[in-house]
């Protein structure tokens, strides 16, 4: 793609308007003139978080993002923008057709759009349909004025996430964006990112954890960075289910840094054992089309991993986990098509994973039913131990009467228990 300088076109093909729009860059707010820019001078940003998974799918199919021809490049990414949310795009297109482009976008001096990709797409489609002279209203930012990659990404996050009604991202595209900004490219800390997207630090950290787990899962199935698989499998909830199970089992664990922890080999080993088993269950569930995989995952966490059957379960599935992993890694890299083929090779192992999972869940449920009375009694005893005997002596008459009423009810219930136990 030929480098261009849009400032050179101001007063010629690019015209200034009387409109202005405030932007905050490097913590300073400034009013910027809104320009009218011909569509052919603008191009999409391939790093747009909303289309991360579509880019990964396109590349995994053997394609390349060709930047030599700006129109060919725009046509490819236009389709990704449309696929990411067709309903929203059609709504934007209809609004612009009726009212015009009300909100200006933001374009860099080289023509790259960092805010307004959906509006730009709607305008392109209207122009293709022959709807008169179509231009893109936008603010022009010049990188030569000291605006760096971090400033650009910060502005993009603030514009897209910091609104009262933030732009809706596919959850997996959002995780990809977070992973690239915080873990991969290290543009922001978790604290910085939370400020820019109007979310709490704890919420952003949870998202980073899911993003890390997602990348580990894709590496585990030999589909590194093929994020569209997680998107098509609607894996966001599954990732949270697995994260919850792991964090309940290994207290204080941080999945973001656990594999960098060289000191506590026991924690790392336990993490890998639980994680790999859950990854295998998740993969098998999707390949075998398990109904309500999220519920199945939670049941494994509740009735198996969080029970005295955990070690037996992990050991019992060890061979299947290893067989499935090794088969997947016999290929250079897998995609959805390859996974369908591999699924036939590992069908027997996957059926065993499903069967053993169901058996352990059912066994866990039965034990939970059997031990439920003990669990309830333990809770009652713990609550009773909180009673302050000194306070009992100093209750007023009304409180004491109320307490005695509850005490008599407790006595009645204890007699029923004694009769049931024949003691």
End-to-end CA distance of the chain: 87
Q: Closest Cα partner for 166 from 231, 104, 88, 100?
A: 88
Residues forming beta bridges with residue 43, ordered by sequence position: 112
* Radius of gyration, CA atoms only, the chain: 29
* Rounded Cα–Cα distance for residues 241 and 245 (Å): 6
Mean pLDDT of 66-95: 92
Structure-token match 């936008």, residue found: 138
Three-state DSSP class for residue 62? coil
* Rounded Cα–Cα distance for residues 307 and 67 (Å): 55
Q: Give the pLDDT score at 397.
A: 86
Long-range contacts of 354-357 (CB under 8 A, 24+ apart): 354/284, 354/285, 354/288, 354/290, 356/313, 356/316, 356/317, 356/320, 357/281, 357/296, 357/300, 357/304
Q: Closest Cα partner for 363 from 313, 418, 414, 295?
A: 313
70 alpha-carbon distance from chain centroid: 31
pTM of the model: 0.82
403 alpha-carbon distance from chain centroid: 50
Three-state DSSP class for residue 348? helix
What are the residues whose beta carbons fall under 8 Å from the beta carbon of 308, sequence distance 6 or more? none
Q: Give the pLDDT score at 320.
A: 96
- Please count the CA atoms within 13 angstroms of the CA of 317 that sit on its side-chain side: 32
Mean pLDDT of 197-213: 95
CA dihedral 402→404→409→410, nearest 10 degrees, is 120
Q: Give the pLDDT score at 387.
A: 85
* Rounded Cα–Cα distance for residues 349 and 338 (Å): 17
Mean pLDDT of 87-101: 93
Residue 14 has what DSSP assignment? B
Q: Give the pLDDT score at 423.
A: 65
Task: Answer whether residue 58 shows pLDDT above 80.
Answer: yes
Task: Answer whether residue 361 shows pLDDT above 90.
Answer: yes
Confidence tier at 83 by pLDDT (50, 70, 90): very high
Task: Answer whether residue 113 shows pLDDT above 80.
Answer: yes
Structure-token match 């922890």, residue found: 261
Residue 254 has what DSSP assignment? -
- Lowest-confidence range among 49-58, 339-348, 371-380, 383-392? 371-380
* Rounded Cα–Cα distance for residues 377 and 385 (Å): 12
* Rounded Cα–Cα distance for residues 244 and 103 (Å): 41
Q: Give the pLDDT score at 262.
A: 65
- Please count the CA atoms within 13 angstroms of the CA of 122 that sit on its side-chain side: 26
For residue 33 the two structure tokens come to 């003139």
Tell me which H or E stretch contains 33. strand 28-38
What are the residues whose beta carbons fall under 8 Å from the beta carbon of 109, sequence distance 6 or more? 5, 6, 7, 140, 141, 142, 143, 144
Confidence tier at 413 by pLDDT (50, 70, 90): confident
Q: Give the pLDDT score at 226.
A: 94
Q: Give the pLDDT score at 416.
A: 85
Indicate the pairing of strand 105-108 with strand 135-141: parallel
- Lowest-confidence range among 94-108, 193-207, 253-267, 308-322? 253-267
* Rounded Cα–Cα distance for residues 44 and 1 (Å): 12
Tell me which H or E stretch contains 423. none
Q: Give the pLDDT score at 60.
A: 87
CA dihedral 161→166→168→170, nearest 10 degrees, is 30
Three-state DSSP class for residue 25? strand
Task: Answer whether residue 165 shows pLDDT above 60.
Answer: no
DSSP-derived secondary structure for 183-218:
IIS----HHHHHHHHT--HHHHHHHHHHHHHHHHHH
* Rounded Cα–Cα distance for residues 287 and 306 (Å): 25
Task: Answer whether residue 164 shows pLDDT above 60.
Answer: no
Tell me which H or E stretch contains 380. helix 347-385
Q: Compute the residue count for the chain.
A: 423
Better-scored residue on pLDDT, 297 or 133: 297
Q: Give the pLDDT score at 383.
A: 83
């Amino acid at each position: 793609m030929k480098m261009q300088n849009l400032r050179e076109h101001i007063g010629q093909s690019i015209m200034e308007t009387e409109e202005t729009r405030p932007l905050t860059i490097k913590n300073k707010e400034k009013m910027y003139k809104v320009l009218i820019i011909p569509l052919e001078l603008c191009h999409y940003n391939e790093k747009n978080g909303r289309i991360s998974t579509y880019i990964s799918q396109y590349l995994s199919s053997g394609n390349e993002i060709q930047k030599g021809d700006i129109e060919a490049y725009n046509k490819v990414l236009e389709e990704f923008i449309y696929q990411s949310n067709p309903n929203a795009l059609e709504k934007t297109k209809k609004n612009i057709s009726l009212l015009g482009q009300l909100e200006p976008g933001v374009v860099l001096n080289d023509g790259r759009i960092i805010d307004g990709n959906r509006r730009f797409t709607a305008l392109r489609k209207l122009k293709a349909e022959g709807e008169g002279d179509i231009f893109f209203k936008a603010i022009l930012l010049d990188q030569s004025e000291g605006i760096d990659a971090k400033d650009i990404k910060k502005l993009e996050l603030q514009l897209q996430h910091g609104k009262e009604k933030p732009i809706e991202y596919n959850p997996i595209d959002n995780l990809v964006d977070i992973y690239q900004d915080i873990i991969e490219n290290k543009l922001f800390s978790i604290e910085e990112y939370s400020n820019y997207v109007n979310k709490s630090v704890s919420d952003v950290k949870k998202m980073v954890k899911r993003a890390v787990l997602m990348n580990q899962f894709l590496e585990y199935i030999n589909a590194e960075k093929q994020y569209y698989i997680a998107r098509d499998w609607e894996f966001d909830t599954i990732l949270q289910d697995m994260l919850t199970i792991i964090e309940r089992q290994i207290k204080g664990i941080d999945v973001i840094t656990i594999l960098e922890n060289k000191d506590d080999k026991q924690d790392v080993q336990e993490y890998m054992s639980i994680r790999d088993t859950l990854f295998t269950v998740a993969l098998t569930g999707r390949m075998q089309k398990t109904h309500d995989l999220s519920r199945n995952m939670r049941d494994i966490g509740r009735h198996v991993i969080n029970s005295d059957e955990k070690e037996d379960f992990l050991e019992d599935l060890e061979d299947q986990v290893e067989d499935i992993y090794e088969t997947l890694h016999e290929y250079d890299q897998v995609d959805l098509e390859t996974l369908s083929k591999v699924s036939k090779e590992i069908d027997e192992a996957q059926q065993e994973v499903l069967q053993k999972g169901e058996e352990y869940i059912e066994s866990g449920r039965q034990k939970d039913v059997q031990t439920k009375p003990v669990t309830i009694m333990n809770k009652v005893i713990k609550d009773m131990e909180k009673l302050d005997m000194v306070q009992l002596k100093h209750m007023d008459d009304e409180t004491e009467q109320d307490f005695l009423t509850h005490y008599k009810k407790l006595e009645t219930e204890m007699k029923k228990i004694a009769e049931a136990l024949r003691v």
